[in-house]
Amino acid sequence: MRTSLHYTEKKPKKRINQRTYILMWNPKISSYSQTEFDCDLYRLSNEEDTKLDWSIAEWREARKGDNFYMVKVGKGKCGVVMSGTFKSKPHLGQDWRDGKREKILYVDLKIKHMILPQRCPLLTTKKLSEAIPDFEWSGGSSGRLLSSEQAEKLDNLWYEYLDKHYYLFLPRAAKAIDKSKRRYCIID
């Protein structure tokens, strides 16, 4: 696992046919709680594996290796809190919403970046809406596919964010614990 990132790192080239999906996370209504998010962040800080899957609405074109950005929505600070790639192709699972549907499709996630919104600056939904106004950033179904143009804009915004906040990804920042709550800021 990489422990640092700085402004000289170049944006990786996308693979042919690699797509980008937006996963929406509202901690107030999601089966994935803030506590579980915090625990996954802690596991990543200790270089432990996480087992996280997420429902995906637009699953037909989704493939292992596609990119994702998880956007926190709802109350409080909203914006990108996680990025990475799909570790699996879509697979059937039980509905996370108390059985409203019998089966739902999920993808397994490989997390690359994770950001604790209460403690760190975010690439906000406001900035996302300004840069990519033809996408609904404040909610909606999770696992929506971006067009290639939208994905390119988002990738550029993300790498600008990483360049601007590279200091958060240095080992000392990644290990900076809030002693009272044992929360990490950012893990890469």
Q: Is 29 helix (H, G, I), strand (E, B) or coil?
A: coil
Residue 175 has pLDDT above 70, yes or no: no
Class of the CATH domain delimited by 20-187: alpha beta
- Position 95 confidence tier, pLDDT thresholds 50, 70, 90: confident
Residue 23 has pLDDT above 90, yes or no: yes
Task: Supply the mean pLDDT for the chain.
Answer: 81
What pLDDT, on a 0 to 100 scale, did the predictor assign at position 53?
A: 93
DSSP letters, 90-144, are: -EEEE-TTTTSSSEEEEEEEEEEEEE-TTTS--EEHHHHHHH-TTS--S-S-SSE
- For the entire predicted model, the pTM comes to 0.81
